[in-house]
Amino acid sequence: MEKRKQEFKTLATGVVLEIADNFRIDEAKLRTIFDSNVMANMKFLTSSFAEEKERWLQYLRFQEQNLEYKRNNSCLYLNRKLTEYIKIPKTVPIGEKFHDVRFLSHNFWYVDKKTFTNKNLTISHLFEEIIIVELELLLDNLDKYLI
């Protein structure tokens, strides 16, 4: 007996298919009953993905604009310094003696924590320990960042 190549694809010409009411489109796709030409004619695969493409392009344009906005409103900094301070209510007189004059506050004195350690002063429960961040900024327009 001679071995021959088998044909698995048989063309059916003149066959009329009737689709039942309970026929599921997903089942036809899963079982690959129809080839892509028939599916296109049945309007299963007629999407050109133009809508999806437009939605992705809109999303990318939005992200690009958002990034540009963030770049315009950001600052570059050269140096950063973290300093621990003690925030003391103005009712406590010791704060005025060691107050850092760079801070303008009506209700509190700001004293460097190192001062408390060097002078052997105790930190009262009324005081608040805070960390101040100092940044050395590169700005093209200082007015843009004033509060």
Q: 47 and 102 share a domain?
A: no
Q: What is the pLDDT of residues 81-134, one digit of tens each?
A: 899 998 988 888 877 788 888 888 788 888 889 988 888 888 888 888 999 888
Please report which confidence band the pLDDT of residue 63 belongs to, taking 50, 70 and 90 as the band edges.
Answer: very high
Q: Which of 74, 95, 116 is the last residue of a domain?
A: 74
Same domain, 70 and 81: no
Tokens 């133009």 sit at which residue? 50
- The SS3 call for residue 5 is coil
Full residue range of the structural domain in which residue 32 is found: 20-74
Let me know whether 138 and 89 are in one domain.
yes
What pTM value is reported for the model?
0.44
Task: Report the pLDDT averaged over residues 53-62.
Answer: 89
Q: Tally the domains of the chain.
A: 2
Do 84 and 111 meet the contact criterion of CB atoms below 8 Å apart?
Answer: no
Residue 60 has pLDDT above 80, yes or no: yes
Lateral strand order in the sheet of 76-89: 108-112, 76-89, 128-138
> Above 50 in pLDDT, residue 44?
no
